[in-house]
Chain A
Amino acid sequence: MREKLQTVVIETPEHYELQFRLAGIGTRFVAYLIDKAVQLLLLFVLVTAAITTYFALGRVFPRVPVPEDLIKLLGRWLLAAAILMYGLATGGYFILFEYLWSGSTPGKRLQGIRVIRKDGRPITFVDTAIRNILRFVDILAEVYPIGLVVMFLDSRNRRLGDLTAGTLVVMDEAVNAPSAPDQAVAGPEDIPEVRYAVNSMTPNDYRIVVRFLARREGLEQEHRADLARKLCLRLLAKSDAALPVGSDPELFLERIAASYQERTRVL
């Protein structure tokens, strides 16, 4: 049931430990496909704009007396601008986004991942430039064959670009603030069975109950009712008690969870 989760712990010079979950290969692949789609959209917009400009100028210039040299110069500048924009949309896309968005791109942000340096610090422009220049080796034919193998073989899911630049891709998980001090209040334990169940409850039992309550809306009705009933029976069996006649198992589990939470409330 339980396996190792891929995490890295980075100790800062101040001896603080930062823990990150490594982004998996699949998540990174999906993020890349999203970025690719955004890139294609950008390119489409650029090409459409360039074609529109070209035709618009073609219509304007015959009517306006502009020196031919100026038209040629303008043409060259437009071409240069188009090449620059193309470069930005393809090669620069990842570099700029990762540099400006603290290691994220639109695809990465949607997948909740970002790039950091292996010492936990945000990536610099040089880091992102190196890892994205090497992307051209990793992606070969746009489907990441080399990157995929290197990531598969590396225990930290790093591709060539990451290995060279010394970067890691990690899950960008929200850090929950420690629970605020609560005021002490009496627990809702007016039903004896709730109290018996809570008394014999372990943290694991509590987690399962909380998980069930959080996910019950997504469960099929039949399984939801069955699971609620079985969880109640399991909890009550420890204290030789039975579910009160006519009581709703889910409501009972809610009470148990609330009571357990109440008892262990942090001051």
Chain B
Amino acid sequence: MAEEQSETRHAIVITGFADDSCKPGAAQIIARISRGAPVEKIIKRLDSLPWTLTRSASPSAAARLSKLLERSGARVEVAPPLPEIAAEAPPPKIPESKGPGTLEERQPVPEVVEIAPTTPEAPPSPPREPEPDFRPIPSREEQPLEPLTTPTRRYEGVAELSFPDQSALSIEPLTLGGILDRTFHLCRRHFWPLLGIVAIPWLAVIAIVVVVVAVVGIYGVTHESLGETATWTAIIVAALAIPSALVAIIGLFFISTGAVIHAVSLAHLGRTVRIRAAYNFVFQRLGRYFLTSMLFSATVFLMAAAALVLGVGFYMLSNLLTSSGWWSAVTWPFLLFVPLYGFTKLVLFDKVVIIEDVAYGQALRRSWRLLSGKAESSWPRNYFVRLVILLNLFFFINIAISLLFSTPAALLAALFPESPAMVGKVISQILEQAGSVVAGLFGSVCLVVFYYDIRNRKEGFDLKMLAGIEKSATLGDREADQSG
């Protein structure tokens, strides 16, 4: 009884025969246990071995069936080996992983044995007949990437929960909810490295503010005393330092955006995220990234300008044709849509530059092309609409995150009304900034996941990765080498 309750199920594979005369006998046995399958068909099937008879035999049934078949002259493999067989048989060979893209086994049979060579028909004009390392397959292609049964720890007594480690996520086409799930999953898994990448520019800003406050405090500069204490040297230093600091901060924010994209890309593909490596990677592509960003800004600006010119044109036309030029206001929502549409269609350009190393006009065109067309078997089908809905969903999540950070400040202000107003303001500012950092991080992660989802759907990127067809172009040669 205990055995029948065992979770282990065995696959029984006929791999060959001692000689061909054994086949009818084995076919008879199979016909008997399969309740009515014609013996002739079974004999015909036995000509192209190996043949997996079942994958769900209980240990006792597997033992009986294999014994029966072996007695008829068949060579039988049982996977996983039965306890008594396992003692005699050599340890099963697990198929080796074929590169980084391959999947782990997810078939019902927990372990797969390499089947002994069979005797296939001789090919008429043979290239080398390959080593038949034929292995059983999962019985449910509908969910081939989901574990069907998982060996888990057994618990005594009361039912409890466990978290098996063997199951995994794969980068497959996702629903909108799935994209958000993946976003939260990645953020949770790599929260501190990702937060570190995003927080570096903010830390720089804080450092500069602290320096300025210290200088002001040490020299006792006020806006009244500024004119008296200022010297030409101080003015020149300030004139150089302030713009330099501004450029440095903007540049740092810019680099951090790129670093987040690269880090999330690595995390999404199952690689390790490191703050320094992410920044180093972006430095390699900084020039192209910067120029493409400029091109993006210029394109969106031109679109806005074109909309503005059109709006003025409509106003003048309306002035000529109607009593008031303000009738042209009906066209404004449509005109406003033009730059918004352009901005949204090009929004993936930074992912294209950082992840694919495609820059300038090509990056913008690629972003536009990625967001064109329709997704199969998913709602909404249009990629552009998907992005718009996703951004709206994220808008709600942003509100939640902002509320989360602003509520403690409000509570503190309510609980300590006597505290100086400055303290409350500073705390509230800090918390608001922290909220926007976290919300920004989630937004960046979400867009990278969305970008990969489009590539999976339109280009079969996940399949290319799994098949080992594509890797270095995405991860960057150095990263690909590092990750082995």
B179, A26: Cβ atoms under 8 Å? yes
Contact of A265 among B52, B167, B463 (CB under 8 A): B52
Contact of A184 among B37, B103, B146 (CB under 8 A): B37
Bound form: Cα–Cα A13–B54 in Å: 29
A27, B48: Cβ atoms under 8 Å? no
Closest residue on chain A to residue B42 by CB atoms: A184
A1, B184: Cβ atoms under 8 Å? no
Query: With A9-B162, A26-B178 in contact, do A261 and B137 touch (Cβ < 8 Å)?
Result: yes
Q: Mark A229-267, 1 if CB is under 8 A from B, else 0.
A: 011001000111110000000000000000011011111
Chain B residues whose CB sits within 8 angstroms of the CB of A192 once the complex forms: 123-126
Interface size on A, as a range, is 35 or more
A267, B180: Cβ atoms under 8 Å? no
Chain B residues whose CB sits within 8 angstroms of the CB of A10 once the complex forms: 159-161
Q: Which residues of A contact B (CB under 8 A)?
A: 1-13, 15, 17, 19, 21, 23-27, 29-31, 33, 111, 118-120, 140-141, 143-146, 148-149, 152, 155-156, 173, 176, 178-179, 181, 183-187, 189, 192, 195-196, 198-204, 206-208, 210-212, 215-220, 223-224, 227, 230-231, 234, 238-242, 260-261, 263-267
9 shortest interchain CB distances as A-B pairs: A26-B180, A24-B181, A218-B376, A239-B130, A184-B45, A27-B177, A2-B168, A200-B130, A5-B167
Q: Mark B77-109, 1 if CB is under 8 A from A, else 0.
A: 000000000000000000100101111111100
B164, A210: Cβ atoms under 8 Å? no
29 contacts between A and B (CB under 8 A): A1-B269, A1-B270, A5-B167, A7-B147, A9-B164, A21-B146, A26-B181, A145-B401, A148-B400, A148-B401, A183-B37, A184-B37, A186-B45, A196-B127, A199-B134, A202-B98, A202-B133, A203-B107, A203-B136, A207-B138, A210-B141, A212-B460, A219-B457, A224-B460, A263-B51, A264-B52, A264-B136, A266-B56, A267-B37
Closest residue on chain B to residue A230 by CB atoms: B469
Q: Mark B387-427, 1 if CB is under 8 A from A, else 0.
A: 00000010011011101100100000000000000000000
Chain B residues whose CB sits within 8 angstroms of the CB of A187 once the complex forms: 48
B103, A207: Cβ atoms under 8 Å? yes
Chain B residues whose CB sits within 8 angstroms of the CB of A266 once the complex forms: 52-56, 139
Tell yes or no: B220 within 8 A of A by CB.
no
- Min C-beta distance of B29 to chain A, whole Å: 11
A1, B170: Cβ atoms under 8 Å? yes
Stretch at the interface among B149-157, B207-215, B253-261, B360-368: B149-157
Closest residue on chain B to residue A153 by CB atoms: B188
Tell yes or no: B3 within 8 A of A by CB.
no
Query: With A199-B130, A200-B131, A266-B52 in contact, do A181 and B180 touch (Cβ < 8 Å)?
Result: no
Bound form: Cα–Cα A4–B44 in Å: 44
Contact of B393 among A29, A185, A224, A261 (CB under 8 A): A29
